[in-house]
Structure 1
Amino acid sequence: MPLPPPQPRTHLHTRQVVYRGYHREDGLWDIEAELTDTKTYALERTERGKMPPGTPVHGMAIRATVDDHLKIQAIATSMDHTPFDECQQGHDPMQRMVGATMGPGWRQAIERALGNSKGCTHLRELLFNMATAAYQTIPGYRHHLRRQAGLPEPQLEKPPYHVGRCIAWDVDGAVVQRHYPQFAGWQPLRRKA
């Protein structure tokens, strides 16, 4: 269902963000993210001079290479368009993310390594959702390969990470009942004090 019709307005700014997932020939995975900010009007910036409409204010990308467990093995960045020359200092701090795992605690790991003025705000924003893109890429493709090979699905001892973290994946809901009936109504075990 589309959004309701808007009030009369003027389009001023577009932020385009794209994520892509790849399976590499060496068995690792590349998750890429790109961010572009453009204006519909001309800008004049002290650092960049006159910028016609549609000229990127920000144009940045990240490639995170991860293993099957979503642990970052390598990371590369590009910053072709930035508002300040100093923004280029944001490349090197990204190496602090090598060894981090995209999963529980991901956003906290990003903030510890790159928060505040330790890194680039826009690269950090791209990292936040890279874990989701990795999750959309890797388990689904591995499931696809198992099905193609005629292999059975692994038996799960606990629900996948996404179960219980979304209204559709509510442990008491119909989707969990259909896809993971063994975890319908699931409650994590409580540790004894």
Structure 2
Amino acid sequence: MTIEQTAVPADDVTREPLHVRRIEFNGFRRSDGLFEVEGHLTDQKSHDFTPPSGLRTVPANDPIHDIGLRVVFDFDMIVRAVSTYIRAYPYRECPGGGDSLQALVGLRIGAGWSGEVRKRLPTGETCTHLREILIPLATAAIQSVNPLRSQVLLEATDANGKPLKIDSCYAYGVSREVVMQRWPTFHRPEKP
């Protein structure tokens, strides 16, 4: 298998650092039988930064944003609780930007998550960065719990007996080797 390399700057090209964004996720199993994923985002600049409000200047390498959230969910991936923190922010109003995330309680993490997040969290009512964290947070939640749910997920079928896992991603595409090995009666050879 060949993986293409991305272009790197030529030796005679210099680069000036301008901005660093870090996003990190951690998944946990809780003692109460629930699960949680924490998402954390920081933004820093290599130079002093004054937000458009002009009310303060953030010194170089200090966080402009230091925000995060915790989503608690059950084995069926239903959101049970959401909490947020906003430690560093550019505008006085920013700390209120996490209140709207309570609209996610009861939502199922899975297919359609991104669209529901956008629908339930209007841009003018929600911190943009918290909203950004929520999209990949779903994948982190799934990756955290799937090893515990794998047998249940592999055995789940639709009304016709077709495994739901088929066509759920590239590797589980109906014409792929995984389907041929695991569910040969459902395998369909790739069309030339």
Give the TM-score of the pair, scaled to structure 1.
0.80
Q: 1:34 aligns with which of 11, 28, 40?
A: 40
Q: 2:28 aligns with which of 22, 25, 36?
A: 22
Offset of residue 103 of structure 1: 1.4
Offset of residue 165 of structure 1: 4.4
| Cα deviation digits, residues 94-153 of structure 1 (max 9, x gap) | 11111111112211211121122121111111111111111101121345xx8xxxxx99
| Cα deviation digits, residues 20-71 of structure 1 (max 9, x gap) | 110000000011111111111222342333x222111111111000001111
CA contact (8 A) 2:154 2:163 kept: no
| Letter aligned with residue 159 of structure 1 | P
1:169 aligns with 2:172: yes
| Cα deviation digits, residues 143-172 of structure 1 (max 9, x gap) | 5xx8xxxxx9973324345x4244333221
Residues of 1 paired with 2:111 and 2:33: CA distance?
Answer: 23
Residues of 1 paired with 2:60 and 2:121: CA distance?
Answer: 31
Residues of 2 paired with 1:108 and 1:129: CA distance?
Answer: 13
Count of equivalent residues: 177
1:4 aligns with 2:25: no
1:40–1:71 Cα change, 3 Å = same
CA contact (8 A) 1:33 1:62 kept: yes
Question: What residue in structure 2 maps to residue 69 of structure 1?
Answer: 76
Q: Runs of 5+ in structure 2 lacking a partner?
A: none
Question: What residue in structure 1 maps to residue 55 of structure 2?
Answer: 47
Kindly report which structure 2 residues correspond to 1:1-193, keeping only aligned pairs within 5 A, or say none.
Answer: 3-7=6-10, 8=13, 9-45=15-51, 46-49=54-57, 51-143=58-150, 155-157=155-157, 158-160=162-164, 163-178=166-181, 181=184, 183-185=186-188
Q: Percent identity?
A: 32
Residues of 1 paired with 2:117 and 2:147: CA distance?
Answer: 25
Offset of residue 84 of structure 1: 0.5
Offset of residue 178 of structure 1: 3.9
1:138–1:180 Cα change, 3 Å = farther
Q: Runs of 5+ in structure 1 lacking a partner?
A: 147-151, 187-193
Q: What CA RMSD, in Å, does the superposition of the two structures yield over aligned residues?
A: 2.5
CA contact (8 A) 1:77 1:91 kept: yes
CA contact (8 A) 1:32 1:63 kept: yes
Residues of 2 paired with 1:179 and 1:56: CA distance?
Answer: 49
